[in-house]
Structure formats: structure tokens, C-alpha cells
Structure 1
Amino acid sequence: MPQLQSHTIRYANPILPGFYPDPSIVRAEDYFYLVCSSFEYFPGVPIFRSRDLIHWEQIGNVLDRISQLDLTDQKNSDGIYAPALRYHEGTFYMITTAVRGIGNFYVTATNPAGPWSDPIRIPYGGIDPSLFFDDDGKVYVTAQQGADYNSHAIQYEIDITTGEALSEPQVVWHGDGGPWTEGPHLYKINGLYYMMSASGGTAKEHREIIGRSDRPYGPFERYPDPILTHRHLNHPIQYLGHADLVEDHHGEWWAVFLGVRLTKDRYSVLGRETFLAPVVWNDGWPHIDNNEGTVSLDMAVQRLPLTAPSTPENHAAIVLGRDDFNEELGPQWLFVRNPSDRACSLTEKPGFLTLYGEETGLGEVGQITFVGRRQQHLHASFTACMSFIPVSDGEEAGLCIRRDEDAHYELGVRRSGGRNVIFARLTVRRESLIVYENETKAEQLLLHIESTEKEYKLACSEDGQNWLSLGSGSARAISPEDFVHKMCFTGAVVGLYATGNGQASKTPARFDWFEYEI
């Protein structure tokens, strides 16, 4: 057979643009599979597949029923942290933490598109658990424990069928002396055990570090420098870290990891995204990019080809264009916490997404009627066609760009003082301001949000030709960096919503279509 020749592989970073942090990856037969954190959003843990590591297709969400993930009363940036995906003898394993929920657990599936099992709980660890299957049949959990400068990694053996601990947890990794030793992964490569983790916190000091040993519990000899960071560079990609390694079909290694694309004003509306880079081995140590700038937005890598190009140049994980709501919602759609049974319907009026507002508003923690998707481009526009004639004061529905309870912009129709009004509202750092309000008799409206690096512009139209500007809000205020008291781990999500503002709404809001354009 003729030997394959290396050639230049070109691709764009991030490979998953938008709020897709904490990636974990595995290769299983002909495909690579990847999962990310989802925090307070449901369904949890989006899962993707790819043949070439570059073009990704979302095939589902791992945690798609309340028996797996109960997010009742979960605050923003709580919920599902840092999943790790592993594959062993025909079974997929996803292990993660439900913060303020059931803690650490894993689920299993033979088909990564689902269904996945109900949670199998494990007893020890703070956050970011990972699984490692050793050659001798032993299975280890490695997890973060402690906080700030006291954080470290613990490890113990489990019965993989029950989650029962078979050994007491041992402290195996203290990191590099920096705060927040997180996302630990144990690997066995060429006969050596490698312990890899993030350090420095998920901001400008973020970095990936590694150690090695001839035993799974160490002690681990730490490589003196980070193997991945941009903390000393003035570079368009920052906060690199929380990595996972994967070997391709040719025995070459790659890393996926999170990073952010900061604007010129040093904020990141889209949040932490998933990036890809080759791993280079030198003297038994893996290297990715230690302040060299080789992880870039436009990558050119000399590697053997994985597959012939079979997908468009555009990211397969980006679903653009119009959703006419003629079929079930695609896997890119998500809810804030678990939706109620009455909140959302595609069958009540076929061809429409029908929403009924709960008593909870967008600025409150609770069961919210909100159906959205991640914003994946700084420059984009979002348009929805809505029919909504509220009859009770407090009922409202519309289009929203959301970071969390503390930061969101929305426009739509609401009932106030016995009349129906078109309105626009900006919520910044928990303070809400109505920037437009005017009575309407319209039965149908087009609602529009345009996103730029600097701002979000809100507009509406009754005929699709004549547009009325309703105001604008700064993009910085929606960025994760602009949090008030609690650090924000998510990114911008655009969605359709309804609320009764204190009581359940009886009036349906019907959306004929939603369109995402760049």
C-alpha cells in the first residue's frame, strides 16, 4: 500500500465558536467525540462528533431528562461543570459535577447520540472528575479538591459498574503553586503515566501544566513550564487552558482546550470557546504552546490527513439560517433550567413554537420559559416572527439576548395598565431600564437584534419592510467579564421567551420562525 504523505492541514480556531467551554475529547473507531460544560442550561452537556477534528456536528445532549439533571433553583453558572468523556470496550462514559446538585457522577451509553443512563454517583472529589481505564483493568477517578491556592487533585479506584470506591482517595497532584488546580486528567502514554491539569484560574493567568510518573499515583515529576498558555502574550486568543489530549488514527496527538477571543476593549461576549492545536512531543513531554503564539485563529499544521474533506468550509457545528419550527427542536436549542411541561410546544399549533410564560421573570432564579441557542459570532443578527396578544397585566413575550439573570436585553410585547405595548428593556448589573414603550394593536411583529463588537441594537417591524429602532445596549454589559458578585462562566445566548411576571401566563406566544444570520 502507498504511504500517506504529510501535508498542510488548514483550519480556523475556535473549532466550536461560542459558549462551549471545558472541552473533553475521545476517539472511538472512525469518529472523534467531544463534550463541553453547560452550567444552568438544559439539556446538559452538548456532544459532537467529527472525522477530522475540524468539522463538528452536534449529535445530541448527554443529559436530556430531569432524572439525569435536575436544575431546579440552580443559579447562573452553577449546574454542570467540566465533563470528561471516555470510551472503553464499546461503552462511552461521561463524568461530571452537578454543582449545588448531586455532586460528582457519571453516565454511560453504547451510542454516544443517546440514550445515556441515569447518573451513577461517586463519593469523593470537589469538581472536574475524570476517568482513567488502566491496562490491568483498574479504573481511577481523578478529581479536583479544595479551593484557590489549596486546590489539588485526588485519585481513587472505583468499581465502574456501581461507582463504589475501592480505595481511599489520595492526594496525587498539587499543581505548580498557582491557584485553582483544576480539570485533572490521567493518561498512560508509552508506558508512562501523565497527570495534566489547568492552573491559575480561568482568566488571564490560565495555563495547562503536566507531570509524569511510572505509577498511577505518582509521585509525578512536573515539567517546569506550562505546556499551554498565552498569559505573557498580547494575542487575540487568551485564557488558554483546561485541555484534553487525544491520539489520532496515525498515532499523532492533538489537544482541545478552552480560550477566549477578547475584543480590543478586553472583553469576550461569546465566552469561553473550544480550540484545537497539535501536540508536539520532545523528550517524552507534550508541548502545545507556551507563550509562543502558535495557537492562532488561522492554523496551518503539517500532519497526515485524517479524512478527505467532506463538509463545507463553514463549521458544521454552526447552524445558520431559518428555523421554521416544522420539526422537533435541533440539539443546538436549550432552556434555562428544566422547562415545565406546559412551557413549550411544537404541536399545539403545527409550524409554530408556542410558549406559555411561567410566573418567573428573566431576572429571577426559577423555572423560566426561555428557548435559545448560543451566540457564535460577534457580528450577527437574530430575527423572530411572533404573534402574541396578551390579555392579563404582566404577560409578556419576545426576543432576548441573555448572559444570566443580571445581564440581558429583550424586546417584545407586554400587557401593562390594561394596554398592550411594544417595549425594549436593558438589564445591566441587575438594574433594569425600559428604553422604549409604545402602545400597539399589531397581532404579529418581527423582532430583531443586531450584534456588533460594541453593542446590541434592538428593532421591530409590523411588515418586514419598515423597521422601528427601539434602542441599544453595550456588548460589554453582556460579557462574562462584567459580572457583579459571582464570576460568570457562560456566554451570550439568544432566545425566545415568555413570562407572566408573577403569575403563570394563560396567553400563548406563537413564534412562526427564528433566523440567525451573519
Structure 2
Amino acid sequence: MTLLRNPVIRGFAPDPSLVRVDDWYYVATSSFEWFPTIPIHRSRDLTDWEYAGHVRGAAPGGSLAGVPDSGGIWAPSLSWDGDRFWMVYSIVRSVGTPYFDTDTYVTTATDVDGTWSAPRRIAGHGFDPALFHEGGRVWLLNLQNDHRPGGRRFAGIVLTELDRETLSPIGDTHLLLQHERLVEGPKVVRRDGWYYLVLAEGGTGFEHGVLVARSRELTGPYVLDDGPLLTSRDDPSLPLQKAGHGELVRTPGGDWVLSHLAARPLRTPDGLRCTLGRETAIQAVTWDAEGWPRMRHGGAHPAVEVDIPTEPRPLGRRADSADPLGWPWSTLRAAPDPSWADATSHPGRIRLRGRHGPESWWAHSLLARRITEHRAEAEVTVEARPRTFTQAAGLVLWYNTEAYLALDLTWAEPEGEGQCGQQWRGGGRTVLSLVERDEAGTRQVAVVDVDADRALTLGVTTDGAEARFWYVRDGVRTPVGSPLDFGRLSDDHGSKLRFTGAMAGIHAVDLVDAGFTADFTGFRLDCR
């Protein structure tokens, strides 16, 4: 037995799709508007995980420009047919509308960190696709979306056989199951002559859960179990909330486990706030006398500590990527520009060229890393010469274009002069500007004069739902402004759909000619 502690992949790793190939386990997770697209982690014992690569080329043309916040790649599904890996996923281009405007793609590879085939678009009925392989045949599972006025946006789970070579539909599409509650995320596994349909239930928030139905025939009819296999919705005190979106996998020894998403909430005066996003967890599963899966520890609640029927096995860890802009860095809506790093002449330096502002869905120069614990500290040294208020560069805590906190080196009018915008007349001063952004707009919290000719070290410390920004002056950390509400950078703040997680990173802005550059060195992010 191996003692596993959930979540096993911490910080913004939702919708885990788990597969075992020989003695390796692989998990693919949603990336939404972020690159690298579809991160994949691997493990030998289900407890110790490492980044193993991603699906390069998942976004056709290498771009998700224009995709809204929390749009992009939802719930990819990883599978193995005995010869190669398959990945099926949807790119969601409309969030918060009845249509979703999804494009569904399939790509394959012989190694998760190898070359993935060019994605092929296939016919799909909605998001959350998955593939089921049996006897050399391949079947597509899908959520059916009914966008019509009065229609059910989650109108059931459908199944279509695909031609293995052309990926074209074969024969009829079968309606497997409809339910009064929202169901999505379908996965199928076969055991003892039964086909088990594993479903995400109740949305992906605090009402989330995992339902199971079964049938003797792949095409149905399916009968639901009496209750959820997994949920935390009936107990807000549980340390793991939002438990749902599961997938059953058999171990080499014949035992079973369930991968699922979960979140570790902060308890704030404004309610539960999941700043770390939804994360990947694993539970041990057994089967009852009637042939239904059950949590081995009893009940339907997710456990933090789980005895997994595996032996501890070293990963044989991969060497760190030689790419200075590779994982754990992430970028918005496109891969990082290779020119941002020059490992030959300036090892360790990142030079960002300013582009659109932080609320752009198109061309934002931002590099960020996932925050994985409720206490964290980020620090970086920046050197830049802003000459106008349209230029800025600095340290940012990021959720999306409507939720971020930023401490930026920028330009301001001479002290005592209002915002007249005539920076081309000369004069002015270099300042640190602390801003916070939420759905009500952007507010400047503090302005501090700084020396324009010196590199500055900027930092931020988060503790629970509080964020404190600072900079180093004469070797001493000097606070900038008052503590800010980090809880707004969570899945749960505001009224719009939010599906990602808080990040810490660096960015640069130039709204005139994209000529402004900023040099960053010594970035660190410590989570504890």
C-alpha cells in the first residue's frame, strides 16, 4: 500500500482524464485559454506525479486569440487503444451563451511527450467528448447541447461510432441517458459484462458529483445507481469541495481507482473561495455485491488521505526542460514568443516586449505560473524605462481579464499635475502603480515614486485571502498600499462562469507601438 495525499496535482489542474499504460499512469487536464495546451502528468504509483508534456498543436494555427476567459480547451479525454494514445477535446469559443460554439478535435501520438498528429475536427454534439475503444472499434461519447429557447443546454449523453481511419460517423447516434440534473463528462469502462457510464453531475461548482449508470449493451439502455459515487455537496466543512468529474481505472493488480477534480476552499467573510482552482485527486474504489463501484473508505465523500493498492515507485524523473519559457510557465492564448528568452547572451533573463493591455483576449505579453498552496510568495527583479503611461511592466497576480492584481513600473505626470496625458512634452516621473481589477472596474490602490535608473525587485505575499505587495528599497522590503482581497481571484467570485485558477507572473504592456521592453530576472514562486 502507498499513502496518497489529495490533491495529487495541486493548483489549477481540473477535469483529470486518467489512463494506465503498462506500469505508467497518465493524467490530462483542461487548459482553457492557457498554453501549454492540455498538460499531461505521469506517475508510477499514483502518489508522486511529474509533468510529462502537453499536446503541442492542440489549438489549430497555434492560437486561441479571441477566446473568452474560461473558454478554450475544456475537459480533454485521454485514452489508449493498445497501440497509441488518443486525445479528444473541444475548443469552446463562447462562454455564458446557449451555443458554446464548440469545435471538437482528435489527435493521436505514440508518446505523450512526442509528436501529436495534426488535430482533425470531427462531428460533435457538445463539449466534454470522450472515446471508448473496444475490439478495434472506436466510439465517441458527447454531451448533447440544445441551444434553443426553452431547450436543455445539457440534454443528455450521446454515443456515435467513428470510422477508425477517417473519424467520420458510422451509423446512428444513440441517446444513452438523460437526467433531471445536469450531467456531462461521460466516460465508459467495461467490467464483468457490464458497461459503466461514469458522469459528472450538477455542474462543476459546489454541487458537483460523480454518478454511475450501467448497461449490458454499449448503446444502452443505462440504469443509474441509487446515489452518487462521489460528492461533497452535502457537507461544506469538508476540506475537499467540488468533488466530481471522475474516471475509473484498473490497476495492474486488479484494484480500481477513481480520478476526479476537487478544490480546497478558503473560508472568508464572503463565503468559500477556491483561489487555487480545481485540482486533481484520486480515490480508492471497491465494488459491492451488486456490482456497483463504491468508495473503499465508505460513503461518498472524498478523502484527503487514501491508501492506494500500489507500491512506491520512483519516477525516474525527466530532466528539467532546456526551454527557459517552458513548463511551469504558462501564457495566454498563444505559446510564448521565443524572443522573450536569450539563454546564450543573457542566461536567466526574460525580456518581454509590451503588447496589448491586461484585459485583451488577443495579444497579452504575460508569463505566469500556477499558485499551488494557500500561502505563497512571488518575487522578481525588473528593469525598464517607461516613457509614457501607455507603457508598463511588473508583477501580477492573475485570474483572468476581469480579476487581477498588478504592481507595475510605469510613467506618471509630475507630482501635483493631473492626468493630462501629454507625456510627449517631457518631464514626468517613474512610479510603481498598484492596481486591482474586478468586475466593477480597475482601481489604482497606490502610487510610489522610484528611481528610473535602477532595477527594482518587486514581490507579493499571499496568505489565505490576503495579498500584500512590496518592493525592495535599500535592502528592505517596503509595502506598497494596503493588503488586497486575493479571494476575488477565485472560481467563486462574481456572477460569471470561472474555471481556471490563480497564477503569479510577469507582464509588459505597450499600447502605442509595441516597442517598449522590460527585462526580468530572478523570478521565484514559493508555495507552502
> Do they superpose with TM above 0.5?
yes
- Runs of 4+ in structure 1 deviating by more than 6 angstroms, as ranges, are none
**What residue is the counterpart of 1:3 in the other structure?**
none
Q: Give the one of 489, 509, 515 matched to 2:518.
A: 509
Distance 1:431 1:86, change over 3 A: same
Displacement, 1:178? 0.7
For 1:104, the aligned partner's letter is: T
Deviations 1:149-194 (CA, angstroms, capped at 9, x unpaired): 752111100013222111232211113x212x11001111222111
Q: Render the CA deviation track for 1:439-473: whole Å, top value 9, x for unaligned.
A: 22242111111111121111111454343333321
Helix, strand or coil: the match of 2:488? helix
Match in the other structure for 2:436:
426
CA gap of 1:339–1:437, structure 2 versus 1, over 3 A, is farther
After superposition, the Cα gap between the structure-2 partners of 1:21 and 1:436, relative to the gap in structure 1 and judged at 3 Å, is same
Matched residue type, 2:158: I
Report the Cα distance in structure 2 between the residues aligned to 1:20 and 1:480, rounded to whole angstroms.
13
Q: 1:290 to 1:271 in 2, by over 3 A?
A: farther
What does residue 476 of structure 2 align with?
A: 465
Cross-structure match for 2:448: 438
What is the CA distance between 1:294 and its match in structure 2?
5.1
Q: Are 1:192 and 2:194 an aligned pair?
A: yes
In the alignment, which residue of structure 2 is the partner of 1:124? 124
1:70 paired residue number: 63
Give the superposition deviation at 1:69. 4.8
Task: Call closer, same or farther: CA 1:454–1:466 in 2, change over 3 Å.
Answer: closer
Cα 1:66–1:274 change in 2 (3 A) is closer
Change (3 A) 1:68 1:219: farther
* One-letter identity of the residue aligned with 1:227: L
- Which amino acid letter does the alignment assign opposite residue 209 of structure 2? R
CA contact (8 A) 1:446 1:464 kept: no
2:353 aligned residue (356, 359, 376):
356
Contact 2:232 2:301 in 1 (8 A): no
1:152 and 2:162 are equivalent in the alignment:
no
Aligned partner of 1:376 among 372, 386, 396: 372
Instruction: Tell me by how many angstroms 1:329 deviates.
Output: 2.6
Tell me if 1:288 matches 2:288: no
Deviations, residues 288-341 of structure 1 (Å, cap 9, x unaligned): 389936522233x2x543344669xxxx99x9xxx9x98523322110111574
Q: Residue 63 of structure 1: SS of its match in structure 2?
A: coil
Residues 1:59 and 2:52 aligned together:
yes
Match of 1:50 among 43, 51, 55: 43
Deviations 1:54-92 (A, max 9, x none): 111001121357536530111100000001100112201
Equivalent-residue separation in structure 2 for 1:304 and 1:94 (angstroms): 27
**Identity, % of aligned pairs?**
29
**What is the alpha-carbon distance in structure 2 between the residues aligned to residue 52 and residue 326 of structure 1?**
27
Structure 1 residue matching 2:480: 3-state secondary structure: strand
Contact (CA 8 Å) 1:199, 1:208: kept in 2 or not?
yes
* 1:224 and 2:226 are equivalent in the alignment: yes
Contact 1:460–1:470 (8 Å) recurs in 2: no
Q: Please tell me whether the aligned partners of residues 141 and 158 of structure 2 are also in contact (alpha carbons under 8 angstroms).
A: yes
- 163, 167, 175: which one aligns with 2:167: 163
Q: Secondary structure at the match of 1:215?
A: coil
C-alpha contact 1:424 1:471 (8 A) present in aligned 2? no
Asked if 1:454 corresponds to 2:458, the answer is no
Going from structure 1 to structure 2, the CA distance change for 1:342 and 1:24 (only over 3 Å counts) comes to closer
TM-score, scaled relative to structure 2: 0.88
* 24-33 or 56-65: bigger deviation: 56-65
- Name 1:115's counterpart in structure 2: 115
User: Partners in 2 of 1:280 and 1:363 — Cα distance?
Assistant: 47
Question: One-letter code of the match for 1:261?
Answer: R
Distance 1:331 1:341, change over 3 A: closer
Q: Distance in 1 between matches of 2:73 and 2:341?
A: 26
Asked if structure 1 preserves the Cα contact closer than 8 Å seen for 2:41 and 2:49, the reply is yes
Residues in 1 aligned to 2:389 and 2:449: alpha-carbon distance in whole angstroms = 14
Quick check: 2:230–2:301 contact (8 Å CA) kept in 1? Answer: no
Gaps of 5+ in 2: 94-100, 147-151, 414-427
Deviation, structure 1 residue 509: 0.9
Match of 1:142 in 2: 141
In 1, the alpha carbon distance for the partners of 2:411 and 2:338 equals 21
TM-score scaled by length of structure 1 = 0.90
Q: Tell me which residue corresponds to 2:395.
A: 399
Q: How many residues align?
A: 494
Q: 2:379 corresponds to which letter in structure 1?
A: T
Distance in 2 separating the partners of 1:471 and 1:102:
42
Q: What is residue 490 of structure 2 aligned with on the other side?
A: 479
Task: Return closer, same or farther for 1:308/1:33 CA change in 2, 3 Å cut-off.
Answer: closer
The answer to whether residue 15 in structure 2 is matched with residue 22 in structure 1 is yes
- Choose which of 306, 315, 326 in structure 1 pairs with 2:311: 306
Q: State how far apart, in whole Å, the 2-side matches of 1:349 and 1:507 are.
A: 18
Q: Is the Cα contact below 8 Å between 1:235 and 1:293 reproduced in 2?
A: no
CA distance in 2, matches of 1:65, 1:499: 27
Match of 1:272 in 2: 278
1:114 maps to a residue whose letter is G
Q: After the TM superposition, which of the residue ranges 249-258 and 338-347 deviates more from structure 2?
A: 338-347
User: 1:462/1:367 Cα in 2 relative to 1: closer, same or farther (>3 Å)?
Assistant: same
Amino acid at match of 2:292: W
Q: Which amino acid is the alignment partner of residue 395 of structure 1?
A: Q
Whole-Å separation in 2 of the counterparts to 1:116 and 1:419: 50
Partner residue, 1:489: 499
Task: Measure, in 1, the Cα distance between the counterparts of 2:228 and 2:300.
Answer: 13
Q: For residue 254 of structure 2, what is the aligned residue in structure 1?
A: 251
Aligned counterparts of 2:253 and 2:204: Cα–Cα separation in 1: 32
CA contact (8 A) 1:326 1:350 kept: no
SS in 1 for 2:431: strand
Aligned-residue offset at 1:430: 4.3
- Stretch deviating more after TM superposition (69-78 or 464-473): 464-473
Structure 1, 14-23 or 470-479: larger mean CA deviation: 470-479
Shift of 1:437: 1.1
2:327 match: secondary structure? coil
Identify the residue that residue 185 of structure 2 maps to in structure 1.
183
